[in-house]
Amino acid sequence: MTAARGPEDPERIGGYRVLRRLGEGGMGRVYLGASPAGRAVAIKVVRPELAGDPGFRARFAAEVAAAQRVSGAFTSPVVEAEPDGAVPWLATAYVNGLSLKETVERYGPMPEPLLRTLGAGLGEALIAIHAAGLLHRDLKPANILLAKDGPRVIDFGISRAVDASADGPTRALTSEGQIIGSPGYMAPEQIRGGTLTASADVFAFGAVLAFAATGRPPFGRGALAAVIHRTLHEGPDLDGVPASLERLVAACLSGDPGERPPTELLPSLLAADPAAAGWLPGPLGEELRQREDTLLLDMRELARSRTRGGCCSAAPPPRDSPSSAAGRPLHWPRPTAGPDGGPPRRSRCGGRRSATSATGASPSRSSPGRSSPTTRDRCTAGTRSTPGGSYGPAGSPSRPSDRTWSTGSRTTAAS
């Protein structure tokens, strides 16, 4: 659930203006930010108590470097990061969608065609992650966002880099001796703290598909110890998984890593229709369209707020200026100096250019028949006042009353 920026939240992080808080986890807070050009980003800011731990800083810097190697149509790329700052942070491309967890809880299990499209996209995302020498290690419904043009895998905060010198085992980037992951989606070897390979992510892939198909985790809910016991000693509950997909899901959830299908085969095994705009039908698709409209209004309002005083708004503060909220440094580039070493010359909105050049000399007259150059006032021309959108509780799109998935003539009621 998103929330408006509070007094304890920074106004800016690096070169990004903070719009609102998206969430909070064990590592820190996540904010929706906007770049100077109006690009939306998700910014994860590390908790101050963790930022003071040199060991954590080293692991975070290594994980940032690893995540920057990942690129793919179904992942969220790293845009910028500052692991060595006073408070480390990481910015990724913002995915304006609902998590798979929230979607299934609200709309019920997915019908088979959408399951296949979801699985094929997740398979391609894992291929890209593994090709970069990484394991995700925490693939779960909350870390999968459903966007208008397909699913996205997010949160590489606990990924591990693969040590290619030792037959594919992993080199820990998180603290040694800790089991990191989400029970119910962790492979047995991950629970036991053993050597991990790409097949651990395939196990989580199968658990995610089972959840999307049935609305419940394949090893149930309840106490942590009970979920772990079922994962280690009992088979998954696949009642409700479409018969055509049950064999694939069961193979992915095998207790033996060697019996799970290789990542490279997952997209082709799903035989899915390609993900494209409008792949999510019915009320969910409409909700995503509303979210896109709201984000667009937010960005337009932000752009107008920068130019309400004129198209020549003040330059951003220099790098060594503190932020007004949490004492965090700003990291804006310094404005380029003018020809005389002073601040850069700027034209005035709606007026003619300065009659004196930067050196103080008068400019030459225009050629006969040509008018002298002018600057049109572009600050307010052609604009209308449009209320900005909101991701807070008061401005969020209303939840659809028709809680169903609709795929053409086929409709599946939510549970």
The Cα 42–Cα 21 span in angstroms is 9
Reported as half-sphere exposure (CB side, CA atoms, 13 A), residue 220 has a value of 14
Angle at Cα 241 formed by Cα 239 and Cα 242, nearest 5°? 125
User: Inter-axis angle of helices 243-252 and 198-214, to 10 degrees?
Assistant: 150
Query: HEC states along 43-87?
Result: EEEECHHHHCCHHHHHHHHHHHHHHCCCCCCCECCEEEEECCCCC
Place of tokens 């004196």: 356
The yes-or-no answer on residue 138 being catalytic is yes
What is the DSSP secondary-structure string of 138-157?
---GGGEEEETTEEEE---T
Q: What are φ and ψ of residue 35, in 5° steps?
A: -75, 165
Exposure string for 369-392, b = 16+ CB within 10 A, e = fewer:
eeeeeeeeeebeeeeeeeebbbbe
The Cα 225–Cα 173 span in angstroms is 25
User: Positive or negative, the Cα torsion across 141, 146, 150, 154?
Assistant: negative
Place of tokens 């949490």: 326
Give me the catalytic one of 9, 53, 138, 163: 138
Catalytic residues, by residue number, are 138
